[in-house]
Amino acid sequence: MTHHDRVRVAPTSETATAPSTHPDSSSEVGADLQQVLVDLLDLGLLAKQVHWNVVGPRFRALHLQLDEITLAVRLQADAVAERAVTVGVAPDGRAATVSAGSRLMAAVPDGMPAGAIQDGVAIELVNTMLTRAIDGLRAAITSTAACDPVTEDLLIGVSAELEKQRWMLIASR
Ligand SMILES: [Fe+2]
**CA 67 / ligand 1 centre spacing (Å):** 7
**CA 63 / ligand 1 centre spacing (Å):** 8
Distance in angstroms (rounded) separating the CA atoms of residues 43 and 26: 25
Q: How far is CA 47 from CA 51, 69, 160, 170, in A?
A: 6, 7, 18, 14
pLDDT in tens, 130-172: 999 999 999 999 999 999 999 999 999 999 999 999 999 999 8
Q: What is the pTM of this model?
A: 0.87
Report all structural domains of the chain as residue ranges with CATH numbers, in order of start. Answer: 24-170 (1.20.1260.10)
pLDDT in tens, 9-40: 545 444 444 455 565 678 899 999 999 999 99
Q: How high is the pLDDT of residue 21? A: 57
